[in-house]
Amino acid sequence: MSRKIFVSAKEVAERAGVSRSAVSRTFTQGASVSQETRRRVIEAAEALGYHVNHLARGLMRDESGIVCLIAAELDTPYRASLIRALTRHLQSASKIAMLVNTDRSDESVGQALRLAISYRADASIILSGMPARSITDICLKSGQRLVLINRDEERDGALMINLNDRDAAQRAFLALLRAGCRSFAFANSEALTPSLMAREEGFREAGRKHGMEVAVERFGATTYESGLVLAQRLLTRESRPDAIFCANDLIACGVMDAARHQFKLDIPSQLCLIGFDDIEQAKWSSYNLTTFAQPVDEIAAEAVTWLAHAPSQVRSRKLVAELVWRGSVRGG
């Protein structure tokens, strides 16, 4: 392995004819350096291709500038857009994202958190899974910040960002009811995530409140393929639903495709659909899906400002997912 040779502050100092401290101060925000020395240092640094070693800097300061993003299935549209938003916000807060890919197991999330500790990350943001308390305790005790997005379990000292899933589900029911639907169903995955369950329960609850039965099916992961299967199951029931609220836009797309191509149903006249997330594809004219928009940018902004600024007392933020009316429900 070829040795790595980076230019150090010492070399810059020698070339600029100043002390090493002067170089360090030149690149430290708010340190005391004269115009003249700064100029000479910058010049020498430029010429030599010097860059402050953030590893060494992180050793002295109590900030490494690293924030660890922990997520599974990062190629999923919603997940990907959240990651994009997070990295953007982190970068404008002069932080850098470290991305850890987990499978869905809580064990692997634990491993990811250990990695975050090893790199002395300033914070970890968890998008999937929920690690054991023993590990989150180490994080928090070490002074590492922790942000949980759409997780349910509580951790003292962590910031929890959640959506109004339950309310949204109830609004979905009302919207479908007003559209004249009579037979309701909820298409869920088997990944019984807190937020997915909140949507399911909110929808059922709304059904009960209006004295209507809600059919529920659960299958697989929250993917397009699961949507195909779920549609198959729901639409072959003896009382076929004319309204399906899907846990997810991906599922909704699957359901819609199966309903149209396999069952030859027209949407929205014979079947109304509502999804959740407002992924890119929901806008595509083949789907034109009515759905709830995840406030992705707001989530990212909230997370980043919290972990970048002084520790406010706020421990939990609830953001709202707004209903986006499109063509998959009658009479928007």
Partner DNA sequence: GAAACGATTGCACACGCTTGCAAAGGCGTG
Partner DNA sequence: CACGCCTTTGCAAGCGTGTGCAATCGTTTC
Alpha helices for the chain (secondary structure H): 9-16, 20-26, 35-48, 54-60, 77-92, 106-118, 133-141, 165-178, 194-209, 224-235, 249-257, 280-283, 296-308
Nearest approach in angstroms of CB 123 to DNA is 18
- CB neighbour class for 51 (10 Å; exposed up to 12, middle 13-18, buried from 19): exposed
- Measured from the CB of residue 136, what is the shortest distance to its own copies in angstroms? 11
Q: Which of 224, 207, 202 is nearest to 321 (CA)?
A: 202
How far apart are CB 61 and DNA at their closest, in Å? 5
Q: Please, what is the minimum distance in Å from the beta carbon of residue 58 to its own copies? A: 5
Phi, psi torsion values for 286, nearest 5 degrees: -70, -25
Which one of its own copies, DNA, none is in contact with 37 (Cβ closer than 5 to 8 A by kind)?
DNA
Rounded least distance, CB 286 to its own copies, Å: 4
Task: Report the partner that residue 142 touches, choosing among its own copies, DNA, none (CB closer than 5 to 8 A by kind).
Answer: its own copies
Q: At residue 92, what is the residue type?
A: S
Binder of residue 42, out of its own copies, DNA, none (CB less than 5 to 8 A by kind): none
The one of DNA, its own copies, none whose footprint includes residue 162, by CB under 5 to 8 A per kind, is: none
177 bridge partner residues: none
For residues 196 and 320, give the distance between their C-alpha atoms in angstroms, rounded to a whole number.
Answer: 15
Neighbouring C-beta atoms of residue 224, cutoff 10 Å: 19
Identify what 39 binds: its own copies, DNA, none; CB under 5 to 8 Å per kind.
none
Cα 63 to Cα 57, 121, 263, 328: the distances in Å are 8, 8, 57, 48
Q: Specify the residue, 238 or 264, whose C-beta has the smaller distance to its own copies.
A: 264
Judged by CB, which is closer to its own copies: 64, or 162? 64
Rounded Cα gap, residues 195 and 133, in angstroms: 20
For residue 3, the partner it binds in its own copies, DNA, none, with Cβ less than 5 to 8 A by kind, is its own copies
- Per CB under 8 A, residues contacting its own copies are 1-7, 49, 51-56, 58-59, 62-64, 66, 69, 73-77, 80-81, 83-84, 87-88, 91, 96-101, 114-115, 117-120, 122, 138, 141-144, 224, 228, 253-254, 257-258, 260-261, 280-281, 283-287, 310-311
Look up residue 242 and give its amino acid: D
Closest CA to 136 of 152, 151, 158, 120: 158
CB nearer DNA, residue 32 or residue 134: 32
Least distance to DNA, CB of residue 3, Å: 10
Taking CB within 5 to 8 Å according to partner kind, which of DNA, its own copies, none is near residue 141? its own copies
Dihedral, 61, 65, 71, 75 alpha carbons, nearest 10? -160
Beta carbons of 268 and 238 less than 8 angstroms apart: no
What's the closest the beta carbon of residue 267 comes to its own copies, in angstroms? Answer: 12
Q: Which C-beta is closer to DNA: that of 88 or that of 120?
A: 120
Q: For DNA, which is the closer residue by CB, 9 or 252? A: 9
Residue with tokens 């230019």: 7
- For the CB of residue 63, give the shortest distance to its own copies in the complex, in Å: 8
Q: Which residues bind DNA (CB under 7 A)?
A: 6, 8-10, 18-22, 24-25, 27-28, 31-37, 50, 52-53, 56-57, 59-61
First-residue to last-residue Cα distance in the chain: 63
Q: Which is nearer to DNA, 37 or 281 (CB)?
A: 37
Residue closer to DNA by CB (options 18, 90) is 18
